[in-house]
Structure 1
């Protein structure tokens, strides 16, 4: 028992890292997947988009389920689904089966808040803050590991090898979780879901992403495109009404009445779109014969600066917030992203330029995504923190998904010289830069003075972001945490 308890913290960090690695298996492999299955890049792109879509829907669902007495089986079950998805993708004989496997792997994106909840309740107090901080960085670090590892496997092995690696890594994480993760505290009250709301938001997001992805092929005025977009609008509107009527909604939409909450979510949506435009297109461009003509492994290496600089930004952001406040920190980070995207949009001729671009993007993303929970938390009562950050998590994943789908749309719009036109990529990077500037404007113009609670001190805010905010981001209750002052 002492050994198992001592192994809990490192095991949770490994679970977080493995989930991030597995979820990042898509982008570097998109050109290889398209070639293997004889598909267009737009179709192969769904091996990435579907993972984000499932993650967007699964995060609040698993978070709500994991908040009750069944956290351990929810965590282990989700890990089991990720393992099954890796096996299915590795054995796939068609692109459709591979995409189905990637959809199952999307459940890995919802595991981080569950791991943090376990750390909050069961890791020793002297290690708790450090473990939660390590978990908060695991997503960025996992991308930095996942892209070059899978690129290397794809270069010297096969696509199946890459997904077998993902299944094996998930299996190790599952075995560690079975051994170390204890049951939730016995006093946890049962939780309930909103099945109607879950179905409405899932179908609405699916219709939206299919409409955006197929629009260039069908035509934006085609009945199928317009029908899907209209269906998405109707389904999401119905979901909004359902969420406002039900006693236990999947996410609490009423919190959008707070201008700070609206600001963080609007900025997160726009930056999520920009982020996945940049990440997915960079890995494609580096491998294009008319681009930089590098290998999948080198394409993965170009994203390592995103992970490194995001980790650096997590240390810089609290200092920026102390100096300028959250209202200025988010626009600063958004402008840095815009600068990085503009730099590559106007150059993009050499590998070092790709590295510099991704470093700037990582620095900007790290600053903004660390500061956003700090914008939400002071604006709402403590009893609403969990719901507010749950909605933020969903919006961020929706932005990722839309950005992944829009990548193909802009390439089609700008690709006057046929598939793989370098000019189309450069112009799309400039679109991502514009999105960064839009996010900066939103973050500066929208917020009003926080209402309800007084704004906490920066150090208190940083602790709440790591231990309370990130836990609440998937709908997990954070009321059991002692206040920063008490600690």
Structure 2
């Protein structure tokens, strides 16, 4: 396991689904990814009101955000591997179920515990995004693969950006429960569309067993790490809890790695992950995820701070969300351009270009974030770069792994992006908590704090570009993301 399929094995694999044009398939999977990503930002406009709504403390209410992150981190790798073993369409349908159930549980919740449970179930549904990307390789003809991969990969950013204004508008004008009833209805519609329009690709017999121990070990290690990263600022970075979680993450993940190298059918094939192209793409994914999330936190706060501060822009939550929404749409607009660039020069070039565009956006922010229009321009440039980078990552991953591992490999890459966004949030949180001013008895981030956070984003994006430059050169035969994805099945991958 872990080696590319031979040409004979590839020829023996039925490819009937690929004969379809795929327009409906791509649309359904893209919308599914957007809906899944919406769940991450669904409660953000409610955070200030949740303690009263749920009769709990602000600290407890914050778990409604953390639960989604943690549940997604645990579920995404497992769902990806199960998709490889039992069929991606089947697991796409399975992933819709926790979205529906979690939304209904949240809509009916009147206390914090059921709300956290419901939000956790919604996080499990995040597996729709990497599954959708991996399914494309099975059901689309090669000439449509590059653009489709870029579009669905960008759905994470699109859903996150659109979620803020939509959720804010609903929360300000009607009952907060409508948010969750609407998300339940959308999830049901997505499930029906997947059932009707996404074909089932053949699954190779004898493709392995599900590694339960590996799934549990990875889940525990990732939860410990993400808990420490996401809650470290609240608990204290030098507190026993935070340091203990970091230590536990290191021990558990090291033990998990040793186990995965010895088991016959690993949860994540670390030998495949260690290939130069896969490893460096995952490192770049962490860095790009970190850079992407930094600007989201900074720009949303700047938009909502009072104008009297001299650097705040005095917008409501709803208005701030509307100013940021076009940035999510920008990711959708640049995805076909990224696919064309990847076809002409390879996904390595697209990933590097995306990282440099992100750095450019952060660089010009130092002169533009004093106005709402300047913030919009900065957000458009940065998210345009993110769209280029996110679209190239799956193509690089699928260009280096066999077809039987696309689900697991893409899910692991999605996990790396999530780790990057969590790390970005933690780093920006530290900067903004250290560089502050006191106004009317309230401590708020200073203008220097925001500018320092933007410089951090610029630096991280430049490092991502440097990492991308060390990726292997594209093989001459791999002239597009589609052929790059196929190359992983027909030729030995480049090794360090």
Q: Compute the TM-score of the two structures, normalised by the length of structure 2.
A: 0.79
CA distance in 1, matches of 2:324, 2:342: 26
Further displaced range: 432-441 or 416-425: 416-425
2:362 counterpart of 1:341: yes
Residue 109 of structure 1 aligns with which residue? 126
In structure 1, the residue corresponding to 2:375 is in which secondary structure? helix
The 3 A distance-change label for structure 1 pair 361 and 133 is closer
Residue 23 of structure 1 aligns with which residue? 37
Further displaced range: 127-136 or 262-271: 127-136
CA distance in 2, matches of 1:185, 1:384: 14
CA distance in 2, matches of 1:32, 1:355: 24
The 3 A distance-change label for structure 1 pair 188 and 346 is farther
Q: How many residues are treated as equivalent by the alignment?
A: 462
List aligned pairs for 1:30-429, cutoff 5 A: 30=44, 32-37=46-51, 46-69=63-86, 71-115=88-132, 135-136=152-153, 138-180=155-197, 185=202, 188-189=205-206, 191-289=208-306, 291-321=312-342, 326-345=347-366, 347-378=368-399, 388-417=409-438, 418-423=442-447, 424-429=449-454
Which of these residues, 434, 438, 458, is aligned with residue 463 of structure 2? 438
The 3 A distance-change label for structure 1 pair 52 and 194 is same
CA distance in 2, matches of 1:46, 1:111: 22
Which deviations, in whole Å up to 9, do the C-alpha atoms of 1:284-330 show, x marking residues without a partner?
A: 44334463332332232233333332233323334545676554443
Quote the offset at 1:128 in angstroms.
8.2
CA distance in 1, matches of 2:265, 2:46: 44
CA distance in 2, matches of 1:122, 1:380: 17
Quote the offset at 1:155 in angstroms.
2.3
CA distance in 1, matches of 2:150, 2:472: 29
In structure 2, the residue corresponding to 1:24 is in which secondary structure? helix
Is the 1:9–1:131 Cα contact (8 Å) retained in structure 2? no
The 3 A distance-change label for structure 1 pair 428 and 36 is same
The 3 A distance-change label for structure 1 pair 384 and 126 is closer
CA distance in 2, matches of 1:218, 1:166: 32
In structure 2, the residue corresponding to 1:220 is in which secondary structure? coil
The 3 A distance-change label for structure 1 pair 248 and 256 is same
The 3 A distance-change label for structure 1 pair 349 and 200 is same
Is the 2:289–2:420 Cα contact (8 Å) retained in structure 1? yes
The 3 A distance-change label for structure 1 pair 162 and 408 is farther
Quote the offset at 1:271 in angstroms.
1.1
Quote the offset at 1:272 in angstroms.
1.0
Q: Which runs of 5+ in 2 are unaligned?
A: 1-19, 491-496
Residue 24 of structure 2 aligns with which residue? 10
Quote the offset at 1:249 in angstroms.
1.4
Is the 2:107–2:178 Cα contact (8 Å) retained in structure 1? yes
CA distance in 1, matches of 2:201, 2:321: 38
Which deviations, in whole Å up to 9, do the C-alpha atoms of 1:342-384 show, x marking residues without a partner?
A: 4335542322122111111111112222233444455567777
Quote the offset at 1:268 in angstroms.
0.6
CA distance in 1, matches of 2:436, 2:75: 35
Is the 1:75–1:111 Cα contact (8 Å) retained in structure 2? yes
Q: Which runs of 5+ in 1 are unaligned?
A: 1-5, 470-477, 482-487
In structure 2, the residue corresponding to 1:303 is in which secondary structure? helix
Which of these residues, 445, 450, 471, is aligned with residue 447 of structure 1? 471
Quote the offset at 1:388 in angstroms.
4.7
CA distance in 1, matches of 2:50, 2:408: 43
Quote the offset at 1:242 in angstroms.
1.8
In structure 1, the residue corresponding to 2:49 is in which secondary structure? helix
CA distance in 2, matches of 1:426, 1:40: 32
In structure 2, the residue corresponding to 1:306 is in which secondary structure? helix
Residue 13 of structure 2 aligns with which residue? none
Which deviations, in whole Å up to 9, do the C-alpha atoms of 1:103-149 show, x marking residues without a partner?
A: 21123321134445666656799988887676455445444543332
Q: Compute the TM-score of the two structures, normalised by the length of structure 1.
A: 0.80
Is the 1:197–1:249 Cα contact (8 Å) retained in structure 2? yes
Quote the offset at 1:213 in angstroms.
3.0
Is the 2:50–2:58 Cα contact (8 Å) retained in structure 1? no
Quote the offset at 1:406 in angstroms.
4.2
Quote the offset at 1:233 in angstroms.
1.2
